[in-house]
Amino acid sequence: MTTAERFEERLRSYLRESSEEARAVRVGEKEVSEHAAIVARFSDLFTREQHAELGEAEAVAEADERERLLRLREACAGGIASLELADAYDELQNAVLAERIDFRGESLPLRSAQAKVAVLAVYGEREELGTLAADASARFNDRRLDLMRRGEALDAELSGEVDPVRRSADLKQVDLFELAETLTEAAERQQDAFEALSERWVARLLGDERDAEPASFHVAYIRRMSPLADLYTKERAVPVCLETLGRLGFDLAGESRIRLDLDDRPQKNPRACVIASDPPELVHLITRAQGGLHDYQAFLHEAGHALHYAGCDPALPYTFRRLARDHALTEIYSFLVESVSREPGWHAEHFTLRADEAEERAESTRFLEVLLFRRYAAKLGFELELWSDFEHAPDYAPVYAERLREATGFRYRPDGYLADLDDGFYSADYLRAWIRTAQVRAHLRQRVGADWWERAETGEFLRGLFREGTRPSSEEIAARVGYDPLDTGPLLDELVLAQ
């Protein structure tokens, strides 16, 4: 057994254990994270010697083996960072978990408060609780920044690349500035359509008490489509989603490799997620339904990830079942499955609506989609500015607020700039998936038909891709469906011309 093989095998045990720990904390089964203790037990994996050895093997390897070694080396670097920052990270996470907010005589954990903002019916109450939660979250900014600085210094050292933008671009194998430019153009071309949609839907969803420029807290509320929530009940979310997946030929409930956690616990993070502890055998799908269309969309989104991980070929090397250069591939599958909820036919069928009502519901989801797309395109622009001059990070807090305000029409707080920042340019991965999923849908509409969203052929097509695990890049998928990776034509067709 080579060093790399031994490393891969032990990495698998480590990732399984640490994923299970992260899951327990995230779902509120445990109040204190003991991640640091797990990393310490596997500390032999995450050393600079090991990192160098993997790098040396990579330098003389070819093709798939080289790619595999690169991903193992990246995982090793990630582990070294975890090991060195685990205590500080745990401390911050535990402090956030312990943080409470007093709201109208009630003491709420910060996480519950953030979840509650999305479901409060009264505009003024959302303003009040949103402000309290944002104040509380911003109090952790110094610690967030300190952790980021330490992480950045380590990444620079291990990769030998001091420029964080170039480092991410090399890893993702895309030009991030070119991507951002393409997206800015796309956002400009949909400007008028977005304004028309926004005028209609913001008024309808937020009502007459709204400010000319509402605070960003209301975006969470809008995402849930709360005023229309009566139709999309909490109780029906799971059965409707299982039925939706069934049409595509996926039996999620009968799939023993995917563990569903649908319980409601006070400390459970309201954000749905998938934790692929050991794919394809052990994959968790976690959601916390609160009522509203968002539950359905979040469930379908995570189901796309879960089916991808649980659907990979078990004969693939572990690396190509679990490790990726980034998240751009798996987000294609989640975005695609989620997008079924933007089909008028889906609303008509599952919620017994007339055609015009279903059209209207579908339009509301399209509004959300454009809003989120624009938010992420703006986030990427901000992140490129921030990371190009990371030394002066706090100077970019106003840039964050201004870029997001301009793109979405909502008022963002400058001091939210760190809490809203995802690691490693995740925003770029989402945006590549946005472009790609529209390309895949265009392909499916042509190959399977306009009803691709309820045809088993779509499931067959996806199953073929799932088998390849995490090996392909997002850009390779573009080639499979016959598009240039940066072709935003299909995306604009859906989001603009659909007007």
Q: Which stretch binds Zn ion (CB under 5 A): 127-135, 143-151, 331-339, 392-400?
A: 331-339
Closest distance to Zn ion from the beta carbon of 307 (Å): 12
Closest distance to Zn ion from the beta carbon of 358 (Å): 26
State which of positions 357-416 bind Zn ion (CB under 5 A).
none
DSSP codes of every residue in 412-428: --GGGTTTTPPGGGHHH
Closest distance to Zn ion from the beta carbon of 36 (Å): 27
What are 341-345's contacts with CB under 8 Å, separation 24+?
A: 341/293, 341/296, 341/297, 341/300, 341/365, 342/366, 342/369, 343/453, 345/451, 345/453, 345/454
Computed on alpha carbons and rounded to an integer, the radius of gyration of the chain in Å comes to 22
Q: Which is nearer to Zn ion, 72 or 324 (CB)?
A: 324
Q: Which is nearer to Zn ion, 46 or 335 (CB)?
A: 335
Closest distance to Zn ion from the beta carbon of 274 (Å): 7
**Residue 226 sits in the site that holds Zn ion (CB under 5 A):** no
Distance CA 314, CA 354 (A): 45
Q: How far is CA 179 from CA 184, 425, 431, in A?
A: 9, 12, 9
Q: Which is nearer to Zn ion, 53 or 429 (CB)?
A: 429
Rounded to a whole number of angstroms, the distance between the first and last alpha carbons of the chain is 59
Q: Which is nearer to Zn ion, 130 or 280 (CB)?
A: 280
Q: Which stretch binds Zn ion (CB under 5 A): 246-254, 332-340, 349-357, 433-441?
A: 332-340
Which residues have C-beta within 8 Å of that of residue 256, sequence separation ≥ 6?
none
Strand order in the sheet with 282-286: 258-261, 282-286, 273-278
Q: Which is nearer to Zn ion, 319 or 334 (CB)?
A: 334
Q: Which is nearer to Zn ion, 19 or 334 (CB)?
A: 334
Q: Which is nearer to Zn ion, 114 or 334 (CB)?
A: 334
**Residue 334 sits in the site that holds Zn ion (CB under 5 A):** yes
State which of positions 117-146 bind Zn ion (CB under 5 A).
none
Closest distance to Zn ion from the beta carbon of 268 (Å): 18
Judge contact between 198 and 190, C-beta under 8 A. Answer: no
Closest distance to Zn ion from the beta carbon of 317 (Å): 24
The pair of three-digit structure tokens given for residue 442, joined into one six-digit string: 């265009």
Judge contact between 434 and 179, C-beta under 8 A. Answer: no
Distance CA 73, CA 158 (A): 10
The residue of the chain with the least Cβ separation from Zn ion equals 334
Site string for Zn ion, 54-83 (x = CB under 5 A): ------------------------------
Q: Which amino acid is located at 75 in the chain?
A: A
Closest distance to Zn ion from the beta carbon of 319 (Å): 21
Q: Which stretch binds Zn ion (CB under 5 A): 211-219, 231-239, 326-334, 403-411?
A: 326-334
Residues of this chain that interact with Zn ion (CB under 5 A) are 334
